[in-house]
Amino acid sequence: MEPAHGTADPFERAPCGYVVTDGEGVIVRANAEFLRMVEVTAAEIVSVRTLASFVSVAGRILLETHLFPMLEHSRVIREIDLDLVTAGGRRVPVLFNAGLASPGGDRSVLAVFVEARDRHRYEEDLRHAKRTADHAREEAAALAETLQQTLIPPAPPHIPGLDIAAAYRPAGAGREVGGDFYDVFQVSASAWIVALGDVSGKGVSAATVTSLVRYTVRSFAIDHPDPADLLGRVDAVLSANDTRHYCTLVVARLERHGDGWELALSLAGQPAALLRSSGGEVSELGVFGTPVGLVEHPRFTTVRHRLRAGSSVTLFTDGVTEGRGADGMYGDERLHDLVRDLPADVQAVTDGIARAVLEFQNGDASDDIAIVTFAPQP
């Protein structure tokens, strides 16, 4: 007898593919929607085919190694994204839920399939976009690292009669470009420039300013032997450049006289240099100046000092003294005490400062750190 309207076999008329398997996974019942999806008749599959045989080869691996064990353990699996394969070999993307039919030992399964062509296309687009974004992010990180490498000279050059050491530690994971830089180069047969600075901000626009400052310092250094003059030129160039970034900078000019070195030094928003005497006393060197590219009437002052044997000078960016740890900022006092107690060797002083500041911040520097130390050779 035909069932009454509205109560006609809900299994058969369900608007989703509906399949029942026995404990071995062989199909014992399949409704009209499922037969339509996979383009077969009931007679062709009931008691003949397993459910797994309607899934792609790859899908079968996932079924056998993950989904069936999960089903067996949790009694239900939900929202599985698979491809059914029709009798003609066509793929039908589906979402599929399955549950064990009875609470007892029988492992027969109820499975429901919903065709998901549009959703699948949409998700494929999302996955593609995510992969592209991941790739772009990796590229950008690699580019940032490369750019940063080009802004920092790998090691200071060899200067006859002068020991020099430098250290650079990027903030955090070091994935962001910009920030601190240093440079050491020759300007005459007997003179060298040591420049160290910090461009405000981060990212690509800061990096281009870093580059601009560095090459401006290089190009004006030969004709402007006075560091304060040189800073004035750099300030003019940076002010004329349409950038929101400014730069703190310290320029030291070292000129060899006989067996000693004359130091001329000017500050632009940078902390004063640290002078460590042969006896170990630490004092500050330099007169405060305005950062370059920031104010309308910049002010730079050159101080001169004759470097004695056994003494050394350290330039550093504010990432050193403003490094934050559990006890607040690292600060000038800690730095002075540290430099006084470190071995009198440019490498030991430079590395010692970098290590102490990193340790103070538990290894996670909040800002870039750049340090250069030089000392006349005995």
- Binding footprint of another protein on the chain (CB under 8 A): 24-26, 50, 52, 56-62, 64-66, 68-70, 72-74, 80-82, 107, 123, 127
| One-letter amino acid of 83 | D
For residue 30, the minimal CB distance to another protein (Å) is: 17
- Residue whose pair of structure tokens reads 């470097």 in the numeric block: 307
Secondary structure of 183-234 as H, E, C letters: EEEEEECCEEEEEEEEEEEEHHHHHHHHHHHHHHHHHHHCCCCCHHHHHHHH
**What's the rounded Cα separation, in Å, for the pair 98 and 95?**
10
Q: Which stretches of the chain are assigned E, i.e. beta strand?
A: 17-21, 27-30, 76-85, 91-100, 109-115, 162-169, 178-188, 191-202, 247-257, 260-268, 273-276, 282-285, 302-307, 312-316, 324-325, 328-329, 369-376
Query: CA distances (Å), 334 to each of 109, 328, 331, in order?
Result: 71, 12, 6
For residue 6, the minimal CB distance to another protein (Å) is: 37
Half-sphere exposure in the Cβ direction for 51 (13 Å, CA): 28
For residue 212, the minimal CB distance to another protein (Å) is: 39
Nearer to another protein, 120 or 324 (CB): 120
For residue 79, the minimal CB distance to another protein (Å) is: 8
What are the backbone dihedrals phi and psi of residue 351, each rounded to the nearest 5 degrees, phi first?
-65, -35
Nearer to another protein, 52 or 222 (CB): 52
CB of 218 within 8 A of CB of 233? no
Nearer to another protein, 123 or 139 (CB): 123
SS3 314: strand
Nearer to another protein, 59 or 227 (CB): 59
For residue 216, the minimal CB distance to another protein (Å) is: 43
Nearer to another protein, 116 or 249 (CB): 116
Nearer to another protein, 111 or 249 (CB): 111
Angle subtended at Cα 142 by Cα 155 and Cα 198, rounded to the nearest 5 degrees: 50
For residue 315, the minimal CB distance to another protein (Å) is: 39
For residue 18, the minimal CB distance to another protein (Å) is: 21
Nearer to another protein, 117 or 127 (CB): 127
